[in-house]
């Protein structure tokens, strides 16, 4: 008898890979007869700790196969912008993906291909070409999905770019979103990235189903709008499966081996503010300085992940971006003066393990969706400091709708003063508004755990998803 298989095609950055891998683990745990293959394309951009993630899953879950596609030379005129690479690479890989899926089909029945939205180009291969049931895994939540699906409607009802208007958009299921809070890569409708987003949104509507990394109890209004078909007003809405939270657990990090966890072990309960800004968050030197001053003045305990600031002039960079001295970029004497209160680490920290540590009481976050879910599951309230991609929209959902984060005063260019940092982290850790979001996130944390129990809504929806694959 032919074996049954599900093929996952994530985007290679950690923020997209990690939850797709969790989906693969869930499929394999619940249905051991279904093997899972994850296609990995080599990425010519910063992907975060993906190698560690792939290695640890290969060891812990050998039934999941990572199929590394061979490197392809980029055409000389290929854009080096992240967003163009993220959508453009899968386009280049379509012939390889076609051959790979066809080869797998010779020995296995592919029950489903599940695409990241950046892997949208493969929809033409898997669904239209090979006629395999093709789903999308939307690595963000239900509110984000409402907006993403509604983009095609907004596109049809205006000829203007988001950058040229100063209005709020009424999107079903979410609070009004200002044009300046739309994803930065969609600002100009003449760009390839805008066209790619619209094409993806349209393909998702035609897919066999959309899986989102959230749960019904977290985003009730958005879930209802999706279920009622309001986000695709001019056609049918495919089945939507909210099966999250799918997040990497923190237990693969040895607390005795890691500097951050060892330091947290010596701090009082709920006393530490954690500052971390995703896989790509970087700040210029003047902003880092303001953050440092604000943290020092707050007198709070902090754990801060700092990356090398971009050089003012690209030619200035003499060493690698990851190899730098904290003393050179933080205010003089800051590290020595705060040594009893804070820990600053370079480049990367084991965030899921940190958020679930009892000493952490608040999180200043860039509002990436994985980070937001990790904070919700751990019951840690946030300060929203959006930086790139769709994070300004996430901030609106997290602050206004889900109510697990506080807003931060920033200029239109996104600059935050030391006073704003000091005041907001103090409110988060000690103020009344902080207490309100803390209580709310604690309630959401309980719901997150309940939804993953047998009979919980995310498990029920996961079962519906796998039932849609027939006999397995």
Q: Considering the complex, what minimum distance in angstroms separates the CB of residue 347 from ligand UDP?
A: 7
Contact 52, 248 (CB under 8 A): no
Strand stretches in 78-163, DSSP E: 108-116, 134-138
CA distance linking residue 248 with residue 19, whole number of Å: 7
CA distance linking residue 143 with residue 13, whole number of Å: 22
- 276 is a site residue for ligand UDP (CB under 6 A): yes
Burial of 40 (0-12, 13-18, 19+ CB in 10 A): middle
Q: Considering the complex, what minimum distance in angstroms separates the CB of residue 432 from ligand UDP?
A: 28
CA distance linking residue 341 with residue 336, whole number of Å: 10
- 278 is a site residue for ligand UDP (CB under 6 A): yes
Contacts of 101 (CB under 8 A, 6+ apart): 7, 110, 113, 125, 126, 130, 132
Residue number with CB closer to ligand UDP (27 or 246): 246
Residue number with CB closer to ligand UDP (153 or 184): 184
Q: Considering the complex, what minimum distance in angstroms separates the CB of residue 303 from ligand UDP?
A: 11
Residue number with CB closer to ligand UDP (390 or 461): 390
Tell me the residue number closest to ligand UDP, measured at CB.
15
Residue number with CB closer to ligand UDP (187 or 348): 348
Q: Out of 374, 390, 422, 461, name the contact with ligand UDP by CB under 6 A.
A: 374
Q: Out of 192, 227, 348, 459, name the contact with ligand UDP by CB under 6 A.
A: 348
Q: Out of 15, 141, 244, 381, name the contact with ligand UDP by CB under 6 A.
A: 15
- 291 is a site residue for ligand UDP (CB under 6 A): no
Q: How many CA atoms lie within 13 A of 432 on its CB side?
A: 0
Q: Which of 220, 236, 213 is nearest to 114 (CA)?
A: 213
Residue number with CB closer to ligand UDP (101 or 288): 288
| Binding span for ligand UDP by CB under 6 A among 27-35, 74-82, 230-238, 273-281 | 273-281
Q: Out of 280, 376, 416, 452, name the contact with ligand UDP by CB under 6 A.
A: 280
Contacts of 200 (CB under 8 A, 6+ apart): 87, 117, 120, 148
Contact 210, 231 (CB under 8 A): no
CA distance linking residue 376 with residue 372, whole number of Å: 6
Contacts of 13 (CB under 8 A, 6+ apart): 43, 45, 46, 47, 48, 50, 86, 279, 280
- 399 is a site residue for ligand UDP (CB under 6 A): no
- 368 is a site residue for ligand UDP (CB under 6 A): yes
Q: Which of 117, 132, 270, 257 is nearest to 185 (CA)?
A: 117
| Binding span for ligand UDP by CB under 6 A among 38-46, 73-81, 368-376, 419-427 | 368-376
CA distance linking residue 3 with residue 107, whole number of Å: 7
| Binding span for ligand UDP by CB under 6 A among 39-47, 118-126, 176-184, 362-370 | 362-370
CA distance linking residue 33 with residue 277, whole number of Å: 38
Q: Considering the complex, what minimum distance in angstroms separates the CB of residue 248 from ligand UDP?
A: 6
| Binding span for ligand UDP by CB under 6 A among 122-130, 222-230, 342-350, 443-451 | 342-350
* Residue 207 main-chain phi, psi, to 5 deg: -80, 175
Give the count of residues interacting with ligand UDP (CB under 6 A). Answer: 20
- 187 is a site residue for ligand UDP (CB under 6 A): no
- 133 is a site residue for ligand UDP (CB under 6 A): no
> Count of CB atoms within 10 A of residue 326's CB?
16
Give me the residue label for tokens 């009424």.
170
The contact pattern for ligand UDP, residues 34-63, with x = CB under 6 A and - = no contact, is: --------------x---------------
| Binding span for ligand UDP by CB under 6 A among 162-170, 221-229, 330-338, 370-378 | 370-378
- 370 is a site residue for ligand UDP (CB under 6 A): yes
- 369 is a site residue for ligand UDP (CB under 6 A): yes
Contact 384, 405 (CB under 8 A): yes
- 204 is a site residue for ligand UDP (CB under 6 A): no
Contact residues: ligand UDP, CB under 6 A? 14-15, 18, 48, 248, 276, 278-280, 305, 348-352, 368-371, 374
């Amino acid at each position: 008898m032919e074996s049954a298989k599900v093929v996952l095609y994530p985007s290679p950055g950690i923020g997209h890979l990690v939850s797709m891998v969790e989906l693969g683990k869930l499929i394999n745990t619940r249905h051991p007869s279904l093997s899972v293959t994850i296609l990995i394309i080599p990425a010519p951009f910063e992907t975060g700790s993906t190698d560690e993630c792939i290695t640890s899953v290969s060891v812990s879950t050998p039934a999941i196969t990572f199929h590394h596609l061979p490197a392809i030379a980029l055409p000389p005129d290929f854009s080096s912008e992240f967003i163009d690479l993220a959508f453009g690479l899968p386009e280049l890989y379509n012939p390889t993906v076609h051959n790979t899926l066809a080869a797998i089909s010779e020995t296995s029945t592919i029950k489903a291909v599940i695409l990241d939205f950046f892997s949208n180009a493969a929809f033409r291969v898997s669904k239209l070409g090979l006629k395999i049931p093709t789903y999308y895994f939307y690595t963000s939540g239900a509110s984000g999905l409402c907006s993403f699906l509604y983009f095609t409607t907004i596109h049809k009802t205006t000829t203007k770019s988001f950058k040229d208007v100063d209005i709020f958009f009424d999107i079903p299921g979410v609070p009004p979103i200002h044009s300046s809070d739309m994803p930065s890569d969609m600002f100009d409708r003449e760009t390839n990235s805008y066209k790619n987003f619209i094409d993806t949104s349209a393909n998702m509507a035609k897919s066999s189903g959309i899986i989102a990394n959230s749960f019904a109890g977290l985003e009730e209004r958005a879930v209802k709008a999706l279920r009622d078909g309001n986000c695709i007003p001019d056609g049918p809405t495919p089945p939507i499966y909210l099966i999250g939270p799918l997040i990497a657990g923190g237990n693969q990090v040895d607390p005795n081996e890691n500097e951050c966890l060892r330091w947290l072990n010596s701090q009082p309960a709920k006393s530490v503010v954690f500052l971390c800004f995703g896989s790509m968050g970087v700040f210029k030197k003047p902003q880092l300085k303001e953050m440092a001053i604000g943290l020092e003045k707050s007198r709070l305990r902090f754990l801060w992940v700092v990356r090398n600031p971009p050089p003012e002039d690209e030619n200035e960079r003499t060493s690698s971006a990851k190899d730098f001295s904290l003393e050179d970029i933080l205010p003089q004497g800051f590290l020595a003066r705060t040594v009893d209160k804070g820990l600053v680490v370079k480049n990367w920290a084991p965030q899921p393990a940190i958020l679930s540590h009892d000493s952490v009481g608040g999180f200043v976050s860039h509002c990436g969706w994985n980070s937001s879910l990790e904070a919700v599951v751990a019951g840690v309230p946030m300060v929203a400091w959006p930086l790139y991609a769709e994070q300004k929209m996430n901030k609106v959902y997290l602050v206004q709708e889900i109510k697990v984060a506080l807003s931060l005063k920033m200029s239109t260019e996104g600059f935050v003063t030391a006073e704003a940092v000091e005041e907001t982290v103090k409110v988060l850790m000690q103020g009344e508004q902080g207490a309100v979001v803390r209580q709310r996130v604690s309630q959401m944390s309980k719901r997150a755990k309940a939804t993953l129990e047998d009979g919980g809504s995310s498990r029920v929806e996961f079962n519906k998803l796998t039932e849609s694959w027939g006999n397995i």
